Amino acid sequence: MVRRRSKIKPSRTNSRFDKDRRAAAEIRRSEAYMAEGQRLTRTGTWALNVVTKRCFWSSGLFRILEFAPASTDPSISTFLDRVHPSDRDAAQQNIDLAIHTGKDFAQDYRLLLDGGTTKYVHSIGHPVTNDSGEIIEIIGAVTEFTDRFYEERALKRSEFYLAEA
């Protein structure tokens, strides 16, 4: 008895499955590159749905704010709790201004972390509108520049001492 091997041709379903699998792998790779880029540049991204008030924070923003993603629900109030008390009103005003006027914002401010550590950050935000022109979301990014802040401060101090000599 001679056995014949059946030649199964790939069906459209298998072909579609392969395309979906490759697309999902490409998305995962892109997300991994984005996360690594944010880690390298000390940057995090965020989004605020102005209707539901729900927030999205990237892994980079969780890292900057020193919150654990598994145990922290991203929100405006959680974010503002990390902003230094002296800078908090200005940070809130920028968010409110973007929501109500549709204007972009950029601001430097301090974060006050658990244990008293201070980080310096630059935050930008941009309103997103729907087809009717209504603001539906604010998207933004936060970049930490603490090391640069202290380096510039030391340089200015050195320049001052040299000028006095």
CATH number of the domain residue 44 falls in: 3.30.450.20
CA 13 to the chain's CA centroid: 37
In a domain, 11, yes or no: no
In a domain, 7, yes or no: no
pLDDT score for 44: 94
- Total domains in the chain come to 1
In a domain, 67, yes or no: yes
Domain that holds residue 96: 23-164
Does the structure show a pLDDT above 80 at 165?
Answer: no
In a domain, 65, yes or no: yes
pTM, 2 dp: 0.74
What average pLDDT does the structure give for the chain?
Answer: 85
Alpha carbons within 13 A on the beta-carbon side of 165: 6
Q: Which of 20-24, 96-100, 127-131, 143-147 has the lowest mean pLDDT?
A: 20-24
pLDDT tens for residues 71-118? 999 999 999 999 999 999 999 999 999 999 999 999 999 999 998 999
In a domain, 59, yes or no: yes
